[in-house]
């Protein structure tokens, strides 16, 4: 697969004058060199660099790429064409699916897994999406249950709008068909112009969720943050090839007030201290993943759409408090029959309904989670048994349910885990 790097940024917010934004140093090398090394690590050795502002600086440094063990083609835009408009310059030069990086993004992710995921779909492209701690001022994508992008939510978002915290990470794989949707000689952006057009034309654009490190350095503050993360080793450590521990969370009674038999979006109310607890997880090495039984779907009391809208509200509220979840898994099944309006195809014995560990195992597969180093926090016997069945340590909220520890609330549970107040 060939790589296209969009490297036309000026870096004015970083105070740059003599070099373009992608040439700013992270550690001892320009960011652009780190991106090329990442691609090379995964066998990608033919690269197109699309530059504009101070393009000669990039050309003089990299040349034809031979001294870096790759082949580099330099394309200079005649005037600013935007993220999509400049890619149009490659029409006729690339006739296979290709990878796209934005030149101002610090990243280390498993490209092989991304390419394999993309190959499972007949799509015009795949965009990496991930949560962040400021979704309220980020460009977001909404996915359906099959990972298809169904909506683009550019910032600013409407007041009272609930959304999935899935930020467009500005890393893509595209089919050459994408060129058909980009106009020549005018400035266009993938997120604002091209993606909405793909949706209007019912093209299949896929979203790939990953917790790996992919962050832009658009402001001076973010630049300093990504530099710290790079120098500390955090950027490389979060590559999906490295296993990570997780704190699995039940939903009702742990994150929000228990809604009993009426799990409505309007009735969703976050418990005190939950945002701070999840924010603490986000700052640690642990992933934060919700695993929740939602049998009311099978019973016909609520629809899957209503449950998912409740989850959007949960993500929106957490995001407003600078916290996020790396994943939400729910089981819609229930084995017992006899409810008026029940959904017959969901009345089944499944592998995902707690106390079975199916949701935890699915999350572990999706995110390469180390279950032995992970925790399950819940307020029912089913939660604790599911955690144990998955091989995790467990904490129960307020009740003695046979867990490894008991905590008063989620905040105390997370503090116990992060402070290491347990025997390994």
**Backbone phi, then psi, for 174, in 5-degree steps?**
-125, 150
- Phi/psi zone of residue 147: left (φ > 0), alpha (ψ -120 to 50 degrees), beta? left
How much is the average pLDDT of 141-163? 95
Residue 95 has pLDDT above 70, yes or no: yes
pLDDT band at 424 (very low <50, low <70, confident <90, very high): very low
Bridge partner list, 270: 256
Q: Is 250 a catalytic residue?
A: yes
CA dist., res. 59 & res. 24, Å (int): 15
Q: Is 133 a catalytic residue?
A: no
User: Which one from 252, 266, 276, 383 is the annotated catalytic residue?
Assistant: 252
Residue 296 has pLDDT above 80, yes or no: yes
pLDDT band at 217 (very low <50, low <70, confident <90, very high): confident
Largest CA distance in the chain: 74
How much is the average pLDDT of 279-291? 97
pLDDT band at 106 (very low <50, low <70, confident <90, very high): very high
pLDDT tens digits for range 166-214: 999 999 999 999 999 999 999 999 999 999 999 999 999 999 999 999 9
Given strand 246-249, what is the order of strands in its sheet? 327-331, 287-293, 246-249, 375-378, 393-397, 405-407
pLDDT tens digits for range 7-66: 987 666 666 668 899 999 999 999 999 999 999 999 999 999 999 989 999 999 999 999
> What is the predicted pLDDT for the residue at 421?
58
> What is the predicted pLDDT for the residue at 8?
83
Residue 422 has pLDDT above 70, yes or no: no
The percentage of the chain sitting over the pLDDT mark of 70, rounded to a whole number, equals 97
> What is the predicted pLDDT for the residue at 148?
98
Q: What is the mean pLDDT of the chain?
A: 94
User: Which one from 139, 250, 379, 383 is the annotated catalytic residue?
Assistant: 250
Residue 221 has pLDDT above 90, yes or no: no
The percentage of the chain sitting over the pLDDT mark of 90, rounded to a whole number, equals 88
CA dist., res. 416 & res. 413, Å (int): 5
* Two tokens, residue 316: 């929106």
> What is the predicted pLDDT for the residue at 15?
63
Residue 119 has pLDDT above 90, yes or no: yes
Residue 127 has pLDDT above 50, yes or no: yes
pLDDT tens digits for range 227-252: 999 999 999 999 999 999 999 999 99
pLDDT band at 337 (very low <50, low <70, confident <90, very high): confident
């Amino acid at each position: 697969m060939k790589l296209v790097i969009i490297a036309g940024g000026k870096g004015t917010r970083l105070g740059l004058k003599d070099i373009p934004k992608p040439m700013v140093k992270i550690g001892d090398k320009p960011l652009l060199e780190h991106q090329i090394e990442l691609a090379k690590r995964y066998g990608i050795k033919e690269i197109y660099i699309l530059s504009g502002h101070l393009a000669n600086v990039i050309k003089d440094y990299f040349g034809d790429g031979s001294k870096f063990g790759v082949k580099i083609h330099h394309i200079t835009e005649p005037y600013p064409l935007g993220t999509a408009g400049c890619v149009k310059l490659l029409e006729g030069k690339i006739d296979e699916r290709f990878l796209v990086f934005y030149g101002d993004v610090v990243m280390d992710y498993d490209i092989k897994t991304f390419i394999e995921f993309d190959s499972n779909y007949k799509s015009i492209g795949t965009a990496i999406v991930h949560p962040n701690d400021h979704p309220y001022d980020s460009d977001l994508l909404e996915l359906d249950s099959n990972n298809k992008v169904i909506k683009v939510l550019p910032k600013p978002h409407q007041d009272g709008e609930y959304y999935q915290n899935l930020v467009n990470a500005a890393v893509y794989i595209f089919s050459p068909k994408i060129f058909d949707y980009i106009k020549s000689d005018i400035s266009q952006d993938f997120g604002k112009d091209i993606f909405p057009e793909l949706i209007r034309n019912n093209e299949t654009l896929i979203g790939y969720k990953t917790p790996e490190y992919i962050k832009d350095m658009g402001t001076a503050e973010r630049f300093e943050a990504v530099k710290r993360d790079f120098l500390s080793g955090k950027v490389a450590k979060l590559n999906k090839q490295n296993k990570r521990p997780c704190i699995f969370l039940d939903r009702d009674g742990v994150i929000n007030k228990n809604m009993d038999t009426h799990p409505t979006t309007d009735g969703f109310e976050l418990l005190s201290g939950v945002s701070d607890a999840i924010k603490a997880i986000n700052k640690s090495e642990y992933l934060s993943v919700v695993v929740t039984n939602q049998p009311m779907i099978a019973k016909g009391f609520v629809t899957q759409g209503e449950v998912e809208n409740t989850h959007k509200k949960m993500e929106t509220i957490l995001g407003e408090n600078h916290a996020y979840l790396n994943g939400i898994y729910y089981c819609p099944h229930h084995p017992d029959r006899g409810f008026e309006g029940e959904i017959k195809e969901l009345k089944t014995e499944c592998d995902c309904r707690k106390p079975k560990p199916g949701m935890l195992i699915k999350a572990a597969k999706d995110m390469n989670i180390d279950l032995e180093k992970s925790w399950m926090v819940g307020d029912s016997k089913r939660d604790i048994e599911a955690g144990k069945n998955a091989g995790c340590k467990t904490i129960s909220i307020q009740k003695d349910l046979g867990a490894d520890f008991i905590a008063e609330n989620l905040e105390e549970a997370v503090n116990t885990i992060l402070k290491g107040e347990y025997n390994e």
